[in-house]
Structures are given as C-alpha cells and as structure tokens.
C-alpha cells in the first residue's frame, strides 16, 4: 500500500469498551483511524436503524489519544450511516467492528450489532470485518489476539474482499500459545433455546428477562463452532444477499398462478 489506509472503527459494546480500545490500538499501527461508535451498550441490536427518533453525535476524546473519535446516540448501523454520510470526508478503505466482548459465531451473526455494523459497511461498498472474542467479561484479555487482528486486517486490505462479502472473525478464549491457527469456515447450524427468567415487579406485574441456552447440533468439522472448540480462530465470509437461490426452483413448482 502506497499511502496509509483510512480505517473506520466501530462496535456494539459502546465507545468506551476495552474491546474497541484494543482494536483502535491495532488499527493505528496500520493506518489513519476514525472512530464512530455507540455512546452506550448496543448488544443484540442486530441490523436496527433509528427511524422513529433523532440521532446525535459528539466529538470526544478517550485515553488522551490523538485519534478522531465520535460517540453516537444510535445503533451500530446508525453509526456506519452517520460516519459515511455525515462525518467522514472520504470513503474509508476498510471498516472494522469490535472487538466484541463475546462470541458472534454461527447464528449469533444475525443478532449481533457488531456484525450488523460490518454488514452495513459492506452494503455501502466498504471492505469490512467484525471481530469477536469468545469471552463476555469486560476484563477479557485482548492482548493475546492483537497480532491476529492485525494479520487479518492487513490481508483484507491487500487482497480485497469478494463483492457482497464481509468477514465474521471469532477468537477462542485461549492463551496465545494455545491458538492453533486460522480456519475459513461456514456458519454452524446452531440456535438459541430461550429460557425466559420470569419475575414479578413491585406492583405485582409479571415481567421477563431474555436468557437462553446455545444449542449446536451441527457436527460438521468445517463450521465456526468446530474451529473455535478445537483451538482455531474462525473466519466466516458473510453475505447480505439473503436469497436462498437453491429454493427458487422448488418454489416455481408451486401452483400460485392458477
């Protein structure tokens, strides 16, 4: 690369989260960094956009870094839209999202604000990567994975991404020397079985907290879940053409126009 790339950084845990601070540090070694991230926790917001409310953003300064940073009142997807259309003066060379505190493997890609931000950047024609560490703790150790984050980002800048594709990268919670390498994977066919925690409020009304158990019934050794369980970093290429092309022929046999 002749000149330093412009890198847009976001996340869904909020702009002050340790995960995004670690990501910013790595990105500053690669290029010029602009951060546009939610001002509070936006986990599980999926691809939500704010259309029934107003949006604000503020220039802020965290960690006394010289990096240009903006906190935004909206969802991760709002952050990308505001960044690209209002804040940035030119299109970034890449967008990185995360590092998420917790897994975004398999079906979690659909609920994840971190990955939805990357997908939105992809829709805008920007190469994009979502990074997640399989450790939900606020004190998760991001040091061990920084080198890999750099390698994957540099490779993406060098090679580009196929059109309509962004990367979903998940790191196992392991010591540096325990990580066996990187595997390109497919999304495991897994899902959450909800277990609502039912409680009663002081007024006697029932309310619920969403909780659940993650069930992976996919035995394939080419899945992200297999890779993570076996000591590998998983990379799943993710697309936003949701068409089930293989189903079109079947549906064309239905008697819909009789």
Binding to its own copies (CB under 8 A): which residues in 76-115? 77-78, 81-82, 84-86, 107, 109-111
Burial class (CB in 10 A: 0-12, 13-18, 19+), 175: exposed
- Rule CB under 8 A: say whether 116 interacts with its own copies: yes
Decide: residue 200, CB within 10 A, 0-12 exposed, 13-18 middle, 19+ buried: exposed
Decide if 134 contacts 168 (C-beta within 8 A).
no
**Segment interacting with its own copies (CB under 8 A) among 21-29, 53-61, 92-100, 126-134:** 53-61
Residue length of the chain: 258
45 in contact with its own copies (CB under 8 A) = yes
- Positive or negative CA dihedral for 174, 176, 178, 181? positive
Torsions phi, psi of 211, nearest 5? -135, 170
Q: Is 217 in the site for its own copies (CB under 8 A)?
A: no
Of these, 123, 144, 146, 229, which contacts its own copies (CB under 8 A)? 123
Q: Tell me which of 63, 143, 147, 195 binds its own copies, using CB under 8 A.
A: 195
**Does 238 sit near its own copies (CB under 8 A)?**
yes
41 binds its own copies, rule: CB under 8 A:
yes
Residue 200 is a binding residue for its own copies (CB under 8 A): no
100 labeled binding residue: yes
Q: Is 159 annotated as a binding residue?
A: no
Handedness of CA 148, 154, 157, 162 (dihedral sign): negative
241 binds its own copies (CB under 8 A): yes
Binding site membership for a divalent metal cation: which residues? 12-13, 43, 100
């Amino acid at each position: 690369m002749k000149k330093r790339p412009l890198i847009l950084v976001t996340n869904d845990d909020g702009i002050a989260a340790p995960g995004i601070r670690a990501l910013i540090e790595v990105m500053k070694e690669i290029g010029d960094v602009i951060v546009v991230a939610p001002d509070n926790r936006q986990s599980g917001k999926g691809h939500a956009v704010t259309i029934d409310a107003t949006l604000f953003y503020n220039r802020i300064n965290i960690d006394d870094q010289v990096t240009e940073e903006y906190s935004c009142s909206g969802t991760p997807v709002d952050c990308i839209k505001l960044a690209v259309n209002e804040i940035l003066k030119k299109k970034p060379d890449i967008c990185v999202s995360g590092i998420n505190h917790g897994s975004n493997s398999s079906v979690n890609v659909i609920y994840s604000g971190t990955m939805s931000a990357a997908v939105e950047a992809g829709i805008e024609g920007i190469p994009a990567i979502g990074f997640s560490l399989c450790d939900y703790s606020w004190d998760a150790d991001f040091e061990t994975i920084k080198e890999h984050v750099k390698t994957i980002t540099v490779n993406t800048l060098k090679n580009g991404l196929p059109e309509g594709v962004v990367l979903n990268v998940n790191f196992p919670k392991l010591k540096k020397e325990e990580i066996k390498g990187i595997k390109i994977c497919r999304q495991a066919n897994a899902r959450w079985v909800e277990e609502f925690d039912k409680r009663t409020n002081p007024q006697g009304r029932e309310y619920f907290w969403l909780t659940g158990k993650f069930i992976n019934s996919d035995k394939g050794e080419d899945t992200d879940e297999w890779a993570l369980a076996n000591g590998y970093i998983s990379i799943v290429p993710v697309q936003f053409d949701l068409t089930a092309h293989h189903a079109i022929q079947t549906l064309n046999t239905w008697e819909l126009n009789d």
